Amino acid sequence: MASISSFDETHLEAICQVLGETADELTESQIGRYLNDCGIPDLLPTHTKRHRLFEALRAKQRQDHCANNVVAFIKKVMSPVLFHSNPERYEILRTKLNSPTAFSGYQVNEKGDVVLVTAATRTRSISDACGTTQIVPRALESTYAKAD
């Protein structure tokens, strides 16, 4: 697998906030198990879910100098089979998670894979996250088109 550039820490924090605020989707024991499965040490097992996730993922990303294990963790957590009894919950979580991941140029697709997205897709996701009345899509398009 090619090296995936590290997530900006503010983007990573927002991702962890989404994953940590999922009362029904991600339990404390699942966090520990999924971190372990992905080779990520659970540094703060007694802290809140979002802080626990952020510190573990940030430390691993810094250690590896890439986001490969962060992406592996997101993929593990977002495996559609985990939501087989309630696919609507999967779509809700995926939509919430795609807002902060779009700022880094990624999204979780329907299969649970973390994929690169185009400038136009990022613009739509970021506009949706910010509210269409608060952001000018053309400004985002010109900003993110340079990154592609």
**What pLDDT, in 10s, does the model give residues 121-130?**
655 655 665 6
The larger pLDDT score, comparing residue 64 to residue 148, is at 64
Distance of alpha carbon 77 from alpha carbon 30, whole angstroms: 9
Give yes or no for residue 132 having a pLDDT over 90: no
Q: What is the pLDDT of residues 96-105, one digit of tens each?
A: 999 999 999 9
Element (H, E) at 118: none
Distance of alpha carbon 146 from alpha carbon 117, whole angstroms: 14
Nearest to 101 by CA among 114, 90, 112: 114
User: What's the distance, Cα to Cα, between the start and end of the chain in Å?
Assistant: 21
Tokens linked to 120: 């136009």
Averaged pLDDT score across all residues of the chain = 86
Q: What is the pLDDT of residues 75-86, one digit of tens each?
A: 999 999 999 999
Nearest to 79 by CA among 68, 69, 98, 93: 93
Distance of alpha carbon 90 from alpha carbon 80, whole angstroms: 7
In terms of pTM, does the model score above 0.75?
yes
pLDDT at 93: 94
Other beta carbons within 10 angstroms of residue 39's beta carbon come to 11
Q: What is the pLDDT of residues 27-82, one digit of tens each?
A: 999 999 999 999 999 999 999 999 999 999 999 999 999 999 999 999 999 999 99
Give yes or no for residue 141 having a pLDDT over 70: no
Pairing of β 114-116 and β 106-108: antiparallel
**Contact by Cβ (8 Å): 64, 56:** no
The larger pLDDT score, comparing residue 35 to residue 144, is at 35
Distance of alpha carbon 44 from alpha carbon 99, whole angstroms: 26
